Amino acid sequence: MLQPSRQPISVESIDPDPKAFLDDYVGRLHRATAVDDDVLAGVSATRALWLRTREQGGRVIFIGNGGSAGIASHLAIDLSKNAAVPALCYSDASMMSCLANDYGFEDWIAHAVRLNARAGDCLVAISSSGRSKNILNGVAQARTMKLDVITLSGMSADNPLRDLGDVNFFVDSRSYNIVETTHQFWMMAAIDLVIGRAEYPSS
């Protein structure tokens, strides 16, 4: 019989006070999503880049891993359906496994950009840590193709993704869920800013 290669990690049971936990949690989210001059400038610049992309006949390409990939897919759908800005997300499992198998996981996004992006496109790169090699390599490829780039990162202020875009969003938090929620919140705000309103029908 095959034996598991490792034992499950033991996690200490923690039973926090729900109100105290949620008060702290919501406070963290409030601080992360607070609008200052940098966030205002970033959301406004994102809107401008997306509108320029549409005017040039380009598409907005979203990339991410794990939870950030889920956010990327959601944003691509909403930007194209609700804001009429053509958008897509590299989330096809066959394409991912093909390119990762042929070129390595760290380079599959770079090759997806090389094969599919075109002049006038805009790349939105999402990485909570800002250190994912495949995201960084994808951004580097986009730069060689003269694409506009928007980055979203968090965790450490010195992460390498933070300064690679034309527009850069950084979430000053060590909580993955707070970082990811804030990334989605800012990008949803930019989508609604393109539309010009926060409330509208779903179809």
Phi, psi dihedrals of residue 64, rounded to the nearest 5°: -175, 170
Q: What is the pLDDT of residue 62?
A: 98
State mean pLDDT over 95-121: 97
Under DSSP, the state recorded for 45 is: H
**141, two tokens:** 């490829």
Q: What is the pLDDT of residue 191?
A: 98
Q: How many CB atoms lie within 10 A of CB 70?
A: 16
Containing 152, the helix (H) or strand (E) segment is strand 148-154
**155, two tokens:** 């965790």
- Name which residue leads in pLDDT, 107 or 5: 107
Q: What is the pLDDT of residue 9?
A: 52
Under DSSP, the state recorded for 165 is: S
**134, two tokens:** 């495949």
Q: How do 60-63 and 87-89 pair as beta strands? A: parallel
Q: What is the pLDDT of residue 2?
A: 43
Confidence check: pLDDT of 130 > 60: yes
Q: What is the pLDDT of residue 1?
A: 41
pLDDT tens digits along 156-172: 999 999 999 999 999 99
Q: Where are the alpha helices (DSSP H) in 84-148?
A: 93-103, 108-116, 133-144
pLDDT tens digits along 52-91: 999 999 999 999 999 999 999 999 999 999 999 999 999 8
Q: What is the pLDDT of residue 90?
A: 94
**Cβ neighbours of residue 168 under 8 Å, at least 6 residues apart?**
42, 150, 151, 153, 161, 162
